[in-house]
Every structure is written in C-alpha cells, then in structure tokens.
Structure 1
Amino acid sequence: STNFFLWLLFFWVFCLFWFYTPCDLPQIENGNLAQYYYSFKRYYFPMHKGKKLSYSCMVGYTTESGTQDGRITCTAKGWSPVPRCYRRCTKPLLENGSFYSTEMDFKIHEKLQYQCNPGYHTPSGATEDTVQCQPQGWSFQPSCIKKLGKSCQVPRLEHGSYSGAAQEVRLNGTLRYRCQHGYRSAAGSASDTALCLAHGWELPPSCTSMSSSLVNQACLILPFGMGMYFLRGIKSKICSKVLLSLWYFSELYSFPRLYLF
C-alpha cells in the first residue's frame, strides 16, 4: 500500500506540473503588454497553461511574422512563441546601383533586390542580388564594385600590323605591332608594344602618319635663302606671339632639326 500512495503522490505532482505550470509576466524588449497587466500584475500572474496573451511592439519594431502585434500562449515550457520584437530594416545606401523597391523600411525576413549599373557587379560577380532583413540587420551590405577585365580585345589597327593573330590578350600581357612606312606609334616608334591592364590598354595600339600634321610642303624663300616648312594650322598669318614648329635645315644641309619658337 505504501508503494501505491507513493505512485499516487507522484501522479498528482506530475498532473499539477503538467496542467498548472504557471507563466510569469513576460519581459519583452522593445515591446509591451496592455498597461493593466502591469498595474494588476499580482491579479493576472502567474498565468496557467493554455492562457493566451497579446503584446505590441514599439514603433520601428515588428514581431517575427512582421506584424505590429503578437499573441503568445502559456505552455508547460513557458510562453510560446517567445515574445520578441525586431527592429525594422531601413533601406541601406548603395553606390553605383539601384533598388527595385521604393520602400524605405522593411520588416523582419523581408527581402530587397538591387541591381548594379553597367560596368559594375556584386561581390559574387553577378549584375544583381538580394538582401534580407534579419534580427541583426541586413543579411549583408549591398554593394556594386567596378568590373576588372581579365583580358583586352585586340583593336583594329589602321596602317599597321600585329606580330600574331590573337583576338585578345590576357591581363598584364603585351601586344607587339609594327606600323607601315611613313607611320609611327603614339610613342614615335616604327614598332611598339601595348600593355593590357585591368581597365584596358595602357596605350592603345595606333599608327599615325608622320606627315599628317603638315598642311603643305611649300618652301618659303627667306632673306638668307634657307628653306623652311611650317606645321598644320599655320596657313597665311604668322604672328610673333604664336608658338610655331618649324623644320629648319642646318647650314650644312645635312639633316633637318626641329625648332620651337
């Protein structure tokens, strides 16, 4: 009989714990209950299993479901779900890109999609991505970074030719080319190399005519009988304040020299 009474006592305690586990006044950060729950706390709490309670989040915060108000139930393990209020996410700053949504505030778990401007991409290398509002804030900071090329396309070369038939050159690679007779590269050489950088060619391949700057080859008869040629842009009026580039033949008439006045 002693064992029977012990078993009965155990069963009674178990039932008391299961059916009458109390739930005390919940502490809700950035949220609260109706004021009368606080004013008459001893009357309402502790609450027993099965009792329900409503709470509200402060301005700028929402429940996990994204609503302003929530409802919890007293269970054997306490209040369920645990009452929480999450800060709303404010639209983040984004340079070199734009957001699809015009909203400024977003609820917890809400997503925000953005796209990058031409020439820019997301950290993952895509043109667009999506961030999500989480309890600690946005899942990550949206950003658009400038694309860095991995190769350079070989441009069309007028009055010159390339040493190879490649269509593109890898990053930091060089491209060798030669200009036709009477033409020179931007550096003034008959042959030159172009370097491929992340933003494109350091100096694009080009061949320019050596005489393209001359408008005519008319010889001016000077008092001393020396021949002179003037560059493009100087046609009839020559003023003393104008900077001239003149080809002057030396007294020995052996080679031309460039003089600047």
Structure 2
Amino acid sequence: MAKTLHEKKDVLVGRAERQMREHFGESTLTTRQKLALTCRILFDGGHDSGLAGQITARGEEPGTYYTQRLGLGFDEITETNLLLVDEDLNVLEGEGMPNPANRFHSWIYRAREDVNCIIHTHPLHAASLAMLEIPLVISQMDTTPLYDDCAFLKEWPGVPVGNEEGEIISAALGDKRAILLAHHGQLVTGTTVEEACNLAILIERAARMQLLAMSAGTVRPLPPALAREAHDWTSTPRRNQANFAYYARRALRNHPDCVATGTEI
C-alpha cells in the first residue's frame, strides 16, 4: 500500500534530498583527476576548438591554480600533464607553458572567493549564439540550473590576454555562475569541478536548443517561480556529484589514459 501519494511536494523534495545525501558520498578523485576527466568530457561534448579554451581549478596554496599545458588539446590532457601556475602564470609544477588567456581566470578567482573552478570554451552552438549578440534564454527544464544565472557580455573586448579583459569579464560575470561572451564563447564557474563541468555541458545544450527553437518560432518564457524552484532543485552538490560521476565513467570508457589505471569513480 502506497503511503506517500498524498504528501506535499516540499515533503517529497526534502525526502529525496536526504536520500541523495545518503547514497552519493564525497568523491575520492583528486583535483588533477577531476580536471583531466573534465577535459575529456567536454571534448566528447563538442567543446573543443583546437587549442582554444581553458579549464582551471584552484590549487592548495592561495593564488595558485591548475590548468592545461598550451599545445595540448582537451583530448590529450591527463592528470600528469596538467600545470600548476600562480596568478602571474608562472609554472610552479609541470613542464611547458599555460595559455596566456588564463590571465582573466586570475581576475575571476580574485573577485569570487566562492569560485573554485572556471571553464571557458568555444563550443559550436554557444559560440554561434554569441555571434548574434543575443543573451542565453533558459526555457526548458533540463537547463534550469542556468536560469537567472547566466550573464551576458555584449561588447567583445578582444582576445583575453590582457588585464583589461580580466577586469571586463569578471565585472560582467558579477555574482552569476555563467556568462555568454558575444563573438567569443562561454564561461562557467563552480564551487567544485563537478559543478562547473555540469554547467559547461548544460550551457552548450541550452544554446543549441535556443537556436533550434528560434528557427521554428518564438521562445516562450518559463514561469519565474517554478524556474527558480527547478534551478535550486537541480543545483545541489549531490546532484552535481552524481551527474559528474556519470559523465566521468562515460569519458573513461572512451579515454582510459587520462587518469591512473584503477581509478574508481
């Protein structure tokens, strides 16, 4: 006999959140492993654009972060060839040089203490939408983690290798977790690598859906209260961990070389 068919939604939501906390524990992966897996996940998700784009995560020491080595594509990143750099992009661990465009990551990390991972890429659909100088519109349930959480920078400041671009992009991002950069691409942030990776997958999907919907008619808005409810429901740490673990297992089947043999996810 069913016992929950008459329970209110908030009760059911609370129960589901408790169950997720019980069933999905903390990840045992290192930051290096999460970043390497994220590179492969995003490569498979259409985020590669030659050597463009940077994926970073804060290091253990203040003012440091991990990033990929310039000259390697997302499909070539492993936990052992990542670099650890400081805010001036001096290499502290590893061999090679970082992408000079990593400079604007330093500005975002300084402005946002809550951000521990930044993903900036030029995926096809997000970059195409950015060419239209149109903000991202969230109007479908799956992409609601980005509802009212994606800023828009309409003026292209040029290649982001100077401090000016760092100031402009960090200011435009504000307190949002994501931003669409006109004539450029996308950027997402997360308190964890898992959160940022999930948002990067979603922003490209949302841009693709928006372009498809715009080609067929007018995109209709979501009810704000329900959209905010969905945003919060789909943005919890445990959901981020579960989603990332799925993406990571799938990536590891395609790219078993990116982390040490025997790594458990």
Q: Whose Rg is larger? A: 1
TM-score (norm 2): 0.22
- The structure whose residues are more often helix, as a share, is 2
Larger strand proportion, structure 1 or 2?
A: 1
TM-score with structure 1 setting the length: 0.22
